Structure 1
Amino acid sequence: MTLLFDLPAASAVPVLGAEARYPVRRVFCVGRNYAAHALELGNAVDREAPIWFTKAPAALCLSGETIPYPPGTASCHYEMELVVAIGAPAFRIGPEAALDVVFGYACGLDMTRRDLQNAAKAKGYPWDTGKDFENGAVIAPITPAARFGEVAGQRIALAQNGEARQDGTLADMIWSIPELIADLSRLYHLAPGDLVYTGTPAGVGPVAAGDVLEGTIEGLEPVRLEIGPAE
């Protein structure tokens, strides 16, 4: 088969202690998974089912990069998150089997064009332009699951230019990792290469050119991002 043009190579994430990288197939994100964050944005806490949205693999950005301030927005926000990397096929599995398909975990940033997201929400439109954009899914190197251990009460935090902005624990999540994976596997045939961003604690806020973001989760490699001038 002859193609009209070549596509960029697939996005791939470094893996701690390994030479091979983790290729990214899809990026799933869950919204409002920390009650305090939902409330700070004026949203109701929905405990009936997780709220899902997606980002294209082209939105992926590796930790340590400097990115231009995103286009089309005057209010780009950081959201510090735990990212789960899927390592085995999963379809309609229960929470009791969900951790068996986890390859590893990473620190991530779900960057959000908040003004575009809010405008879309007000009209009942999808969030796509507010969430899915170049460099909007930042990720640190993946730590294999066996090395990280159990997801429990590890601290999750973010500093902006050295000032603390977000500070919580993974135990604050409304939906646990097994519950999230089980729910997502009802909707999709999950497979190796799928990333799951699991929501953010309270304390989100805007970034500006020159800002340096540093996010941490106990036991994982930190994520770092610098915001450059707009193009």
Structure 2
Amino acid sequence: MTLLFDPQPPILAQTSDGHDYPVRRLFCIGRNYADHAKEMGVEVDREAPFYFTKWAETVVPSGPIAYPSMTGNYHYEAELVVAIGTGGRDIPMHRAAKHIYGYATGLDMTRRDLQLEARAKGRPWDGGKNVEQSSPLGLIHPIGETGELSAGAIRLTVNGDVKQQADLADFIHPVPDLIAFLSRAYRLEPGDLIYTGTPAGVGAVVPGDEIVVSIDGLTDTKVKIMPVADD
């Protein structure tokens, strides 16, 4: 048997020590900072994490990204990203760190107008969230280099102006809780990325804007918004 067409090559993220990290799946946590939940007009849910998924091919390194089609309200969301290094199911919280390869800064770029329209109709958020180049990712730092990240400043700037600023200690659901929860629903595997949620202060960008995401101890994610790509 022969392939009808060549498969797409794997999506490779970069690590701080020069390795390639093959990306498998993205689990994106919503409403994990109370102030962001409030600014989005939804109640804070402390019972269980809320999440959605995105394709691996949305992951891109720091650099230029295209302003997408079908939106006039493209938002930034700064995130701590957890990279899974060891698979497992039903992982207890006290063992969660053993399954972490490392951490990175990242962005969950969002077609906010499409997301809110879908939310109002009770429909999935795919059109707003699962968009080409919408998951920029900084270098992944191995956990042996950073230790477990349960606190530390997270900040986002647009053209040098601070738009988001908080502390990882403000998480409603800390990283061990997220790993334990997701591993009950799915077997987590090496290559899975968990985008852990964004602080308050989200907002729109336009072509020409430059975004920088910073987290203490990690490499910044830096992107510039470019005009809609011509196919």
Deviation of 1:201 (Å): 0.5
Contact 2:76 2:205 in 1 (8 A): yes
| Distance across 1 between alignment mates of 2:15 and 2:195 | 17
Partner in structure 1 of residue 216 of structure 2:
218
Partner residue of 2:200 out of 199, 202, 224: 202
Contact 2:24 2:56 in 1 (8 A): yes
Partner in structure 1 of residue 61 of structure 2:
62
Deviation of 1:152 (Å): 2.6
Deviation of 1:7 (Å): 2.1
Deviation of 1:86 (Å): 0.2
| Distance across 2 between alignment mates of 1:93 and 1:34 | 23
What CA deviation, in whole Å up to 9, does each residue of 1:181-203 have, x standing for no partner? Answer: 00000011101000000000011
Residue 95 of structure 1 pairs with residue 88 of structure 2: no
Contact 2:150 2:174 in 1 (8 A): no
What CA deviation, in whole Å up to 9, does each residue of 1:99-151 have, x standing for no partner? Answer: 11000000000001100000000000010110001001110010000101121
| Distance across 2 between alignment mates of 1:122 and 1:133 | 20
Partner in structure 1 of residue 164 of structure 2:
166
Contact 2:97 2:148 in 1 (8 A): no
Partner in structure 1 of residue 75 of structure 2:
77
User: What are structure 2's unaligned runs of at least 5 residues?
Assistant: none
CA RMSD of the aligned region, Å?
0.8
| Distance across 2 between alignment mates of 1:7 and 1:136 | 22
* Matched residue count: 229
Once the two structures are superposed, the pairs formed by residues 33-182 of structure 1 within 5 Å of their partners are 33-63=32-62, 65-182=63-180
Identity fraction in percent: 50
Amino acid at match of 1:151: L
| Distance across 2 between alignment mates of 1:146 and 1:139 | 19
Deviation of 1:153 (Å): 2.1
Contact 2:14 2:20 in 1 (8 A): yes
Amino acid at match of 2:15: V
Deviation of 1:93 (Å): 1.2
| Distance across 2 between alignment mates of 1:70 and 1:227 | 10
Partner in structure 1 of residue 186 of structure 2:
188
| Distance across 1 between alignment mates of 2:140 and 2:49 | 24
The range that moved more, 77-86 or 88-97, is: 88-97
| Distance across 2 between alignment mates of 1:176 and 1:68 | 32
| Distance across 2 between alignment mates of 1:138 and 1:12 | 12
Contact 2:26 2:193 in 1 (8 A): yes
Amino acid at match of 1:110: D
| Distance across 2 between alignment mates of 1:58 and 1:9 | 10
TM-score (norm 2): 0.97
TM-score (norm 1): 0.97
Residue 9 of structure 1 pairs with residue 9 of structure 2: yes
